[in-house]
A and B are shown apart, each in its own frame.
Chain A
């Protein structure tokens, strides 16, 4: 951004501590009157150097670190990391473990969308919505908690399987929670569709067209809201997503309203996926039996090579590029987070909007700063 300020222009710094943000980042906006002329995003306020730390940890220790890349999608982060190790070492995951992974990742998607959506409503001053979504999110959190033993950072996946089996009575709990959640989501949708103020703040605001979104490298709900059905679960299926029946939720408007609608629809799809999984899940071991990489081998050396593995995070395409040199630690791990390009795409989106819409547009991207900074 050009720092020189012309007549009747000023630069406003939003952040790093700002209620708009679930993590610290700074938005420098140059305003002429009330219109944003130019803007720039500054990141790195919580850069922890995870890529460097991962190089110095063994593969098993790495699982706990990748949990903390994005605190709302810990399980999908683990899936991307563990999937890389499995591809390099050629480990086959038993079917039951794959189903458990799908269940947990979809649950994690639901809780992430619930928080993101509610938080977004609170940016617009609609704090009651945040109360509602957090209330329902707690039910989902206790489902996750009952399986993994943790609320946010789970360290649940292992290469070749998962740490624990589903607890007894899990299916009934899921049935009960989803019964309530379905009603709640219908409720939210009705609130969103009938609230005039909410509509005025979201409809036709921050419009992305499909071509622009592709050019900016955006993925996940902001891209699907423009009508592009880009979903790694369909395009490059991992785990058992091939055997499951689900739709990729898209909208055509590309505005803020459409992004929230995509998230609402995705929660319904996720619930549908989990119910299918619970019906289809076979009995069997949680770890492959005839490989040396079981639960009991904390140190393992995997063959050298390079691999890029990507999964569908709640926010878009999450990819890990791993370089192995045959030792017990990765030589290099590159984390490709979905929010990184999304946050980068804010300045072109904010050009020409009013100040009041900055929060609306930036919030609708559901940014997770921790994952941007790493």
Chain B
């Protein structure tokens, strides 16, 4: 299965949800998706296109466009193609359906994106802070306009 046929199959199955699909090279393809249908698309990818390996899932903050991108990087054990799938969310109230029912290991990635960017995942089995102490929830430290960075408390600097 090569990059072009994957894109064609995906765009044929979900004509309304996939846009800006792009073949970057033989092993890298990218596409934007509408956030509403992301679980259905992931299920199709996993079951029919053998994209069984979720490499990672994370957020990127764009304050200028007032958007947060949630990016899914999905690979496969059968073919070398990696799909980069982006869902664009409004920055004020980012909400997206959780893909844990499809990709089990998305659990921690989503919890981390939640506490670092404030992206709320609907129907996540256990949405709570992962790497930060509970008091820091709500600061969203990886957003570009976070004020706690750089931390100026270090005294012993050379």
Contact = CB atoms under 8 A, between A and B. Distances in A.
| A associates with B | yes
Interface of A: 43-44, 47, 49, 51-52, 56, 214-217, 228, 230, 235-236, 306, 308, 310, 317, 319, 321, 323, 331-332, 334, 336, 340-341, 344-345, 373-374
Interface in B44-67: 52-56, 58, 60-61
A334 B108 CA distance: 14
18 contacts: A43-B131, A44-B129, A44-B132, A49-B149, A52-B146, A56-B150, A214-B52, A214-B53, A217-B54, A217-B105, A228-B77, A236-B80, A306-B84, A308-B73, A321-B71, A323-B60, A334-B71, A344-B105
B55 to A, nearest CB: 6
Contacts of B58: 321, 334
B35 interface: no
A182 B107 CA distance: 41
Contacts of B80: 235-236
Given A52-B142, A235-B80, A344-B105, A336 B73 contact: yes
Nearest to A219: B53
Contact of B56 (A230, A334, A344, A373): A334
Which of B28, B55, B60, B146 has the most CB atoms of chain A within a 10 A radius of its CB?
Answer: B55
A341 to B, nearest CB: 5
B77 to A, nearest CB: 6
Given A228-B77, A321-B71, 11 more contacts: A44-B130, A44-B132, A52-B142, A56-B149, A56-B150, A216-B104, A321-B56, A323-B60, A332-B61, A344-B108, A345-B105
A332 B142 CA distance: 9
Given A214-B52, A236-B80, A334-B58, A44 B131 contact: yes
Interface of B: 27-28, 30, 52-56, 58, 60-61, 71, 73, 77, 80, 82, 84, 103-105, 107-108, 129-133, 141-142, 146, 149-150
Contacts of A230: 77
Q: Would you call the interface of chain A mostly helix, strand, loop, or mixed?
A: mixed
Kindly list the 9 A-B residue pairs having the minimum CB-CB distance in the complex, ordered from nearest: A44-B131, A217-B105, A336-B56, A47-B131, A334-B58, A341-B105, A332-B60, A344-B108, A236-B80
Contacts of A49: 141, 149
Contacts of A44: 129-133
A336 B82 CA distance: 14
A340 B54 CA distance: 12
A216 B21 CA distance: 28
Contacts of B132: 44, 47
A215 B106 CA distance: 11
Contacts of B71: 321, 334
A89 to B, nearest CB: 16
Given A52-B141, A235-B80, A310 B55 contact: yes
Given A47-B132, A308-B28, A321-B71, A216 B105 contact: yes
Contacts of A340: 108
A310 B81 CA distance: 12
Contacts of B54: 217
B77 A321 contact: no
B131 A308 contact: no
Given A306-B84, A317-B55, A321-B71, A217 B150 contact: no
Contacts of A331: 60
A222 to B, nearest CB: 13
A51 B77 CA distance: 27
A308 B75 CA distance: 11
Contact of B149 (A52, A214, A323): A52
A358 to B, nearest CB: 20
Nearest to B86: A306
B77 A217 contact: no
Given A47-B132, A319-B55, A308 B141 contact: no
A317 B82 CA distance: 13
Contacts of A56: 149-150
A299 B143 CA distance: 25
Contacts of B53: 214, 217
Which of A228, A321, A374 has the most CB atoms of chain B within a 10 A radius of its CB?
Answer: A321
Contacts of B130: 43-44
B42 to A, nearest CB: 13
B31 to A, nearest CB: 13
Given A43-B130, A228-B77, A319 B56 contact: yes
A323 B58 CA distance: 12
Nearest to B149: A52
A128 to B, nearest CB: 36
Contacts of B104: 215-217
